[in-house]
Chain A
């Protein structure tokens, strides 16, 4: 059995090496060299376009108004995938809450008990106990920046949300915030649902045309509808229609979702430590 699986593994490895030789060389993917030529102001230009990626690069700016083509793919062309992915995160948060339900619902940890286990914060260094309070606003602001400029620069809802959630992790390992876990979890999960509801609500708002239709993109410049020309430009915050809003919704969802996971896991770990301490 062991030998058989090892042999199979080596065989698959060999086949994969053969396959690698058949793939296109690194750095020369499918595509047409004329995709970067200047174009007129038509919304959709289909001349000389033979692959999906060329289409996105050539028409992404005009159709969605977003300078960041990846963001326009993530939130517009393949917005349904993003909905599914946000659902996966939501699903995992709910699953973890369900699995840890009995542990989370145990009676609250007493304050002195907490201090006894962690020797906290009496013999902890000042940098660890106060540093996070300084760093936390900076992290949140940086995350919010990533979320808000998702359609202009590298970043977007997921990245910004994950950055903001790292702030939660920092608070968890270093401050008294953890005592109030029970109350905080409920708030977090409420906001997580809210973010997702905003996302799918924006999707339903376009149902007159089709689900998740970017109906703001070529509209009023006041409502994020500024048209931008093809090619490099400094970027305008009021472009891209629904994209910044969807990005914001995903940012909220990811921030609070990951925070719930972290808080729950931290609570479970603490509970295990208390059990071990009681047993020994």
Chain B
């Protein structure tokens, strides 16, 4: 039965989503219980894959529809003929994050989103968004990747415009969908170019026979541009604040992790698809790495400087996600740049791998703390009915839990010890310094500005006199919201205090899964 877990993880939420319109006629409670159970089941199945994949380092394959699901390539052939799911360290790492986020955000949105006829659709789209992420992370087939990317973007766009009664959200949804659709169209063009030469859509097969011809490079550029845009990297990041600021808070947290899923796709493309340095005439990995690094540095700088002057709290945090995405890109970019340097792998082993460890570890740390901060932004919105920091004051008098978790999240994302992002940022600074000192200095500077802008949020929203005349909702927070935020904060503290265990258990297998192709 364990052989079927990779496909069950995707198929079970799909089944529940399909019957959800019928179930939700029975009432709110059965619907919530069913959805909660299925998200929990997905998480349990993901955790049950951990010993096999993470500890024993096995790569699980599941061929959908085949008579022998464990055999990827049929006998007598050199290529797979069906869609193959591949669970390695990196995909399981990202899938664990997605599952965790879905659970927390679902708990948070149980009471945060008011009960309304539309909430049925909200739950449904939420479930499908999770499925899209998981499918995108597990699949080893380029076209299947495209399909799941499309599922992810459509559900995201619909959820962004959940508050249709206000004038901005539909336009924000339109923007998100347009950007995603163009990205996926470009991606599909790249897929077509690959298919034209190799006659296959399987990533590992294409990797094995990769020639790095002109067409391959063209496909690489199309995929790179598409996924970087989807992930919100620097010159193409302008849609991020516009859409993140209009979505409800749990959806924004999900959007954070979904942009990480696109980033996952980008890294996969760089390594799993094009990362074969064996053939004669390869692409210049140094150039590719520097493109990613420059994209990352631009994202960091532009994101944080723009965040500093915002006074819409969600817009501020959205600019921060742009800037933190830069860290990830920088770490992986250094890894790509030294991946095939002509020194026998010395640079890669001494600091390239550390930089990648920092980058991948920071994916986890950043998304958890940023998710937490977006959830607290949801609390602010609930209290004051607006996201404008000018009209907020004195939340610390009333919501002590929110204040505490906000402090934890803000300190964590600014890289203050002993929270988790410090260890990943430390790894990044130290290794990137060996590669190019300027990058490291910029990264530290950006960290300082991050702390400055969160100080601003803390000052405006939490400090100051407690005024009940500007509050729109004075009820104490529901247990679900507090539980969601507390789980996130606990995750920050646990990973912050056990960085070496997290690195060993999760990040190292992730790098192995990303770099090693059989």
Contact = CB atoms under 8 A, between A and B. Distances in A.
Interface stretch (A43-51, A137-145, A231-239): A43-51
A201 B19 CA distance: 11
Given A15-B218, A19-B214, A95-B154, A211 B8 contact: yes
Contact of B81 (A31, A56, A92): A56
Nearest to A200: B15
A134 interface: no
A56 B79 CA distance: 12
Contacts of A209: 66-67, 69
A35 to B, nearest CB: 13
Interface in A71-122: 76-81, 83-85, 87-88, 90-92, 94-95, 97-99, 101-102, 105
B199 A51 contact: yes
A251 interface: no
A99 B135 contact: no
Contact of A78 (B67, B82, B215): B82
Contacts of A203: 11
B199 A91 contact: no
A84 B75 contact: no
A90 B15 CA distance: 12
Interface stretch (A152-160, A190-198, A222-230, A269-277): A190-198
Contacts of B83: 77-78, 80-81
Contacts of A50: 78, 199
Interface string B13-28: 0110111111000000
A173 interface: no
A3 interface: no
Contacts of A76: 65
A165 B17 CA distance: 23
Nearest to B161: A99
A50 B201 CA distance: 14
Given A30-B199, A94-B121, A95-B154, A211 B64 contact: yes
Nearest to A31: B199
A181 to B, nearest CB: 16
Contacts of A212: 64-65
B200 interface: yes
Contacts of B66: 209-210, 213
Contacts of B79: 51-52
A101 B117 CA distance: 8
B396 to A, nearest CB: 36
Interface in A177-229: 189-190, 193, 196-197, 200-201, 203-204, 206-207, 209-214
Contacts of A49: 77
Contact of A91 (B125, B165, B170, B196): B125
Chain A interface main SS type? helix
Contact of A210 (B69, B125, B164): B69
A210 B62 contact: yes
Interface string B53-93: 00000000011111101000011111101110000000000
Chain B interface main SS type? helix
Contacts of A79: 64-65
Contacts, number: 163
A95 B125 contact: yes
User: Is the interface on chain A under 10, 10 to 19, 20 to 34, or 35 or more residues?
Assistant: 35 or more
A249 to B, nearest CB: 11
Nearest to A203: B11
A271 to B, nearest CB: 14
User: Is the interface on chain B under 10, 10 to 19, 20 to 34, or 35 or more residues?
Assistant: 35 or more
Interface stretch (B140-148, B242-250, B335-343): B140-148
B65 A91 contact: no
B124 interface: yes
Contact of A46 (B4, B77, B118, B128): B77
A91 B155 contact: yes
Contacts of A99: 158, 161, 164, 170
A127 interface: no
Contacts of A6: none
Interface centre among B20, B78, B147, B200 (most CB of A within 10 A): B147
Contacts of B64: 79-80, 210-212
Contacts of A95: 121, 125, 154-155, 157-158
Contact of B65 (A56, A102, A214): A214
Given A22-B213, A98-B162, A46 B76 contact: yes
Contacts of B67: 209-210, 213
A98 B161 CA distance: 10
B122 interface: yes
A178 to B, nearest CB: 22
B65 A77 contact: yes
Contacts of B74: 44, 46
B18 A101 contact: no
B4 A211 contact: yes
Nearest to A44: B74
Given A80-B83, A92-B154, A101-B118, A189 B161 contact: no
Nearest to A75: B65
Contacts of B199: 29-31, 50-53
20 contacts: A19-B193, A29-B199, A51-B199, A52-B79, A55-B77, A77-B65, A80-B144, A85-B147, A91-B128, A94-B21, A94-B158, A95-B157, A95-B158, A97-B121, A98-B122, A98-B162, A193-B21, A200-B14, A203-B11, A210-B69
Interface of A: 15-16, 18-19, 22-24, 29-31, 44, 46-47, 49-53, 55-56, 76-81, 83-85, 87-88, 90-92, 94-95, 97-99, 101-102, 105, 189-190, 193, 196-197, 200-201, 203-204, 206-207, 209-214
The 4 A-B pairs at the shortest CB distance, nearest first, are namely A46-B76, A95-B158, A98-B121, A84-B147
Given A91-B151, A94-B124, 15 more contacts: A18-B214, A44-B74, A56-B81, A78-B143, A78-B144, A80-B65, A87-B128, A98-B118, A193-B19, A193-B22, A209-B67, A210-B7, A211-B4, A211-B7, A213-B65
